[in-house]
Structure 1
Amino acid sequence: MYAKILVPLDGSEHAIKALRVAASLARAGASTLHLMTVAEYPPDNVGLFVGGSADPFSEEEREQMAQAMRDKARKVIDQARSLVDLDGLDVKESVSQGRPAEQIKEQAETIGADVIVMGSRGLGNVRGMIFGSVSHKVSHIAGCGVITVT
């Protein structure tokens, strides 16, 4: 069936549902599950938006913010693992940083994924309605099959 299944996680209920589906597929086909999450890049400057200075962040401040975002992303995987029974499955994990759709596509290519199983709507529902959902973008750019779970 599928040897390698990529499951992008964002902490949403749809992502948890997708992980449950992926776990069932993995059990049926003795597949490897590749769990991933994406921490977006910190902005160059949010000072004006939060009432602060217009001065850009220093490189050190940006790296501290980036690390905090990666740490938060790591917790998304930990939370998902606590909510879905993955016992007996071969599970690998990764955290990347960048634009979610592009990072998911890149990870699928890197691991040679046969299929990506992901939620139809993540935590950015309003943003997704305006700019297009990550799952929609991935379905158009991925070089493998994409199963979208609602």
Structure 2
Amino acid sequence: MYKTLVVPVDGSIHAERALAVAAELARSGGATLHLLNVPESAPDNIGILVGGSTEPMSEVEREKLAEGMRKAGQQVIDKAKAAVDLAGIEVKELVRQGKPGERIIEAAEELNADAIVMGSRGMSDLRGMVVGSVSHRVSHTAGCSVITVT
């Protein structure tokens, strides 16, 4: 049934539950799981937020920040992989930066995914209530099936 599943992971219990469901779907149908973490990009004027300079970040500073975010994203993926039995399942890993909803949909399109399997809520529950959840946005705009796990 499903051959390519995108599973966004963010370190939340909901994402872990979604990965467990995706693993069962993959196991029963021989699908490949694409684990995706999307650390949000920092604003160019982050110095103001942390009490530093009002000047935009230099390219070197921006690259250091991006590398740190990639490493943190990989750690989230590693933690998710350790929490769920993925034996016998082909698993690929992606870390993309930007707005999570947009990057999840882009990855699904690029991979020609059959479905996105994601948690109903992530690490930013309060923010989700204020500006709309990522899962809500993805489920209403994705070009493939979206399985939301609570």
Q: Which residue of 2 aligns with 1:130?
A: 130
Q: Which residue of 2 aligns with 1:68?
A: 68
In 1: Cα distance, 2:37 partner to 2:49 partner: 26
User: Structure 1: any 5+ residue segments left out of the alignment?
Assistant: none
In 2: Cα distance, 1:9 partner to 1:51 partner: 31
Runs of 4+ residues over 4 Å off in structure 1: none
- Cα distance, 1:66 vs structure 2: 1.1
In 2: Cα distance, 1:105 partner to 1:72 partner: 21
Over the residues paired in the alignment, what is the CA RMSD in angstroms? 1.0
User: Structure 2: any 5+ residue segments left out of the alignment?
Assistant: none
Deviations 1:33-55 (A, max 9, x none): 11111122121112332222322
Give the fraction of aligned pairs with identical amino acids, expressed as a percent. 59
103-112 or 55-64, larger mean C-alpha shift = 55-64
Q: Which residue of 1 aligns with 2:143?
A: 143
Q: TM-score w.r.t. structure 2 length? A: 0.96
**2:16 partner amino acid:** I
In 1: Cα distance, 2:92 partner to 2:47 partner: 38
Aligned pairs (5 A) from 1:1-150: 1-150=1-150
Q: Secondary structure at the match of 1:39?
A: coil
In 1: Cα distance, 2:70 partner to 2:25 partner: 28
- Cα distance, 1:77 vs structure 2: 0.5
**1:49 partner amino acid:** L
- Cα distance, 1:57 vs structure 2: 1.4
Aligned length: 150
In 2: Cα distance, 1:130 partner to 1:74 partner: 28
**1:40 partner amino acid:** E
Deviations 1:52-103 (A, max 9, x none): 2322211211111111011100111100011100001111111111111111
In 1: Cα distance, 2:93 partner to 2:49 partner: 34
In 2: Cα distance, 1:91 partner to 1:56 partner: 38
Q: TM-score w.r.t. structure 1 length? A: 0.96
